Structure 1
Amino acid sequence: MKVLGQFLLFHALICAASHVQGSVIIKGDLAPEGSMQFMVSVQNKNGHVCGGFLISEDFVVTAAHCDIGLKHVILGGHNWKNSNAKKIEISNQCKYKNYSDVGNGSDIMLLKLANKAPMGQNIKTIPLAKKNTNLSVNQECSVAGWGKTVSTGGLADDLRVVNVSIIDHNDCQQSWGRLPPNVICAGGKYTDKGFCQGDSGGPLVCNGKAVGIVSFNKNNNCTYPDVPNVYTDIREYVDWIKYITIVNSCPL
């Protein structure tokens, strides 16, 4: 019964994340001007839904649970409302074949852009971590996004970033009671820094490479929670990502 209770609590917490728009960076700072030019605001007709990051001229990586009527992306500026930022329509969405919900993992999606992003001073790609990339406990990485800075606040216009440390996987699993496969834990537990409800799709960046994708955290608790933040582990999906970007379409 205890195990069942833990699973039901876990399921309720993570499912709530898919219904919250925007991104939440807690105890972070404004991103330095000219940094993180790979960051993308993923939007529907109502505006900002999730974060994302540019990996090629015409592909953006985000979380699969961000599929909430997506229409376009905004890139090329720390303030996504800036008139100089570039808006590009989304032509296709590719979710990993095993994805069903965040509780079962594989929370990753590629967005095919209708037009190539104009690479230059304000728009750049970020390299992905390789399959054999090692992460060490307490290694310092970073996560960024637009949005709230407290649980009850409104979305912010300017990109914010915070440093977080990698947490031991066994520690993370004990804290949550259950974890989906292929995830990384960083920030949250043991600190007052990290992301919170709705900061989905943005990258966990370690040594200049995208290692994880913001997936879920404890429901609506930005004070900060007693469980780690959880990211999809990009290293487990690099072959899939490479295949899609080469064939330029979603696999059947």
Structure 2
Amino acid sequence: TRIVGGSQVSYCRYSYTVSLQDSIGHFCGGSLIAKDVVLTAAHCQGGNYDVVINRHDLGTNTGDRIKMVKEIPHPKYNDRTTNYDFNLVFLDRPTNQNVALVNLNDNKNSPSVNEEVWVMGWGDTVADDYVQRLSDKLMDVSVNVISNGDCDASEGSINGQISDQMLCARDNNEDACQGDSGGPLVLRGNDNSGAKDVQVGVVSWGIGCASKSFPGVYSRVSEAYDWIKDEVCSRSSD
């Protein structure tokens, strides 16, 4: 992950944020949307892995580690364009942790341009393409939503690659990349546990890290809300 320019999160904040871990370690983030379901990015899918819940510091053995038993990527996911970059991860059992579930955004008019949103993860904290320094502790950073038109016109963009299913945000020298893939982008509520946070995006892609010329690109949750709701309601044991 990369949370460049970010700060360490207080222990209970964003308790819905999870770590996807294979035999090597943390490789993607995600968000707990039911006690046994995680929302992440489709480009994170594949292989055998566990989901680690309520572990603020990845250098510890705290929290709950649960095996992934089924993945359902969005049926319209395109690995070439990364459009509809959503993946639902169903767990072997519901978590035993007392953690917040994130609320999902169903309002296609939200968030608005220039609105402050937050992204978090255990990502790379150095903006150097040749150095990857993962943070053991959960980090967050605030960024601001920009219009899809401005995003598409950004230097380095291939014109037309920003679809309606994507959401862009940036702030100078503060961005998420690498290990933060699949992690949540949220409108923050006023509850310290994160129980009132609303997830508006899933970390999808970008060009480089903390690039002033190119923003971070997220999958727009409101565009997949109905699909997520249908799948979770029909498959979750929670």
| Displacement over 6 Å in runs of 4+ | none
The answer as to whether partners of 1:74 and 1:80 remain within 8 angstroms in 2 is no
Structure 2 match to 1:110: 88
Greater shift, 173-182 or 26-35, is seen at 173-182
Task: Verify: 1:186 aligned to 2:164, yes or no.
Answer: no
* Cα 1:42–1:95 shift into 2, 3 Å: same
| Paired residues for 1:1-252 under 5 Å | 23-101=1-79, 103-120=81-98, 123-150=99-126, 151=128, 152-175=131-154, 176=157, 177-181=159-163, 182-187=165-170, 191-207=172-188, 208-218=197-207, 221-248=208-235
* TM-score (structure 1 length as normaliser): 0.83
Amino acid in structure 2 at the alignment position of 1:212:
G
Uncovered stretches (5+) of structure 1, i.e. residues with no partner: 1-22
- In structure 2, what residue type is equivalent to 1:96? H
Note closer, same or farther for the CA distance 1:136–1:223 as it changes in structure 2 (3 Å cut).
closer
Superimposed CA distance per residue, residues 36-80 of structure 1 (whole angstroms, 9 cap, x where no aligned partner): 000000112211110000000110000000014241111112113
RMSD value, Cα: 1.6
Q: Decide whether the 8 Å contact of 1:42 with 1:70 is kept in 2.
A: no
Amino acid at match of 1:178: G
Runs (5+) with no aligned partner, structure 2: 189-196
* Number of residue equivalences: 221
Using the alignment, how far apart are the partners of 2:94 and 2:178 within structure 1? Answer: 31
Aligned partners of 1:201 and 1:223: how far apart in 2?
Answer: 17
Contact 2:54 2:63 in 1 (8 A): yes
Taking structure 2 as the reference length, the TM-score comes to 0.88
**Using a 3 Å threshold, how does the CA distance of structure 1 residues 134 and 28 change in structure 2: closer, same or farther?**
same
The percentage of counterpart residues that share the same residue type is: 33
Which amino acid is the alignment partner of residue 160 of structure 2?
Answer: R
Q: Distance in 2 between matches of 1:43 and 1:106?
A: 23
Higher helix share: 1
